[in-house]
Amino acid sequence: MSKTKVAIIGSGNIGTDLMIKILRTSQQLEMVAMVGIDPASDGLARAKRMNVATTHEGIKGLVDMPEWNDIQLLFDATSAKAHHYNWNIVQQYPDKRMIDLTPAAIGPFLVPPVNFDESHNVRNVNMVTCGGQATIPIVAAVNRVAKVHYGEIVASIASKSAGPGTRANIDEFTETTANAIESVGGADKGKAIIVLNPAEPPLVMRDTVFTLSEQGDRDAIEASIHAMVSEVQQYVPGYSLHQAVQFDDISESKPVFIEGLGYRHGLKTTVLLKVEGAGHYLPKYAGNLDIMTSAALATAERLCRM
């Protein structure tokens, strides 16, 4: 079976980790080019050592490379602002598709175990954010049992795992994740918070998911959450529940006020998650980056099977 030829735009931590995942683990993708803008970047140096073609002249440099004509799929691991520029060029070539790992959100949000079937026909899909990939499956798992009025997530990541791109995209992170909690997770209202944890030694990614839903069968909700965790673990083995699922009643006599929704009562569900990276290129504590590259890889391989 011939492999799908792919390129990565962005030679930083995320792009380099994704490249190594493809080279080491993928049976369906062929890594043919790594694109950067810094000729001294570690990502470009590693790509050269692994016999992957490189350019430090960005997307325009890639278009001028002989490999360009054969590339079918591009991963963008740059920044939200850069993705707009890159897509303006790539969309001129109808035979090429993009998987966007930035918070640019030009294409529809895609979280593999939740809405792949709704998004696979478009040319540009957005992988939301690391916090979104970790937590939106849980919001969706609750929502398929009991309608979720409000979903709030808190993503805590090691400060050392947040590079310049992540730090530059903090505002886009919270806005994009909140929007995806609603449009993909199914919540009427979403909120996202990110915490850069400066602890030493660095701690693995931790995510807390709060949902306020209609009352529902608690055993069914818990079973739905466990089933969703198992689905995510198929492509992110380090993804796990950190504690048992917790439930609290919000009574009609003591409702909570949610901005944009007003007063609501129902069932509060709290889910605590831990995401440990695979350690392909990045330290294992960088689960926030690993879940993004793993989700993008799983999406690409699934697209190739269609």
- CATH number at 12 reads 3.40.50.720
Rounded to whole angstroms, the Cα distance separating 182 from 179 reads 5
Q: Are residues 134 and 281 in the same domain?
A: yes
Look at residue 172 in the predicted model and tell me its pLDDT. 83
Is 304 marked active-site? no
In the predicted structure, residue 103 carries a pLDDT above the cut 90: no
Q: Are residues 295 and 272 in the same domain?
A: no
Q: Are residues 95 and 139 in the same domain?
A: no
Q: Are residues 148 and 120 in the same domain?
A: no
Nearest CA among 64, 56, 61 for reference residue 36: 56
CA 207 remoteness from chain centre: 13
40-62 pLDDT tens trace: 999 999 999 999 999 999 999 99
Q: Are residues 144 and 217 in the same domain?
A: yes
In the predicted structure, residue 1 carries a pLDDT above the cut 70: no
Q: Are residues 122 and 59 in the same domain?
A: yes
Number of domains in the chain: 2
Residue 249: count of CB within 10 angstroms of its CB: 11
Q: Are residues 14 and 67 in the same domain?
A: yes
Q: Are residues 55 and 107 in the same domain?
A: yes
Rounded to whole angstroms, the Cα distance separating 250 from 211 reads 11
CATH number of domain containing 246: 3.30.360.10
262-295 pLDDT tens trace: 999 999 999 999 999 999 999 999 999 999 999 9
Q: Are residues 89 and 186 in the same domain?
A: no
Rounded to whole angstroms, the Cα distance separating 14 from 101 reads 9
Q: Are residues 258 and 143 in the same domain?
A: yes
pTM across the whole model: 0.95
Name the active-site residue from 130, 138, 250, 297: 130
Q: Are residues 123 and 157 in the same domain?
A: no
Residue 200: count of CB within 10 angstroms of its CB: 9
Kindly report the average pLDDT of the chain as a whole number. Answer: 95
Q: Are residues 141 and 252 in the same domain?
A: yes
Rounded to whole angstroms, the Cα distance separating 163 from 178 reads 22
Question: 138 lies in which domain range?
Answer: 130-285
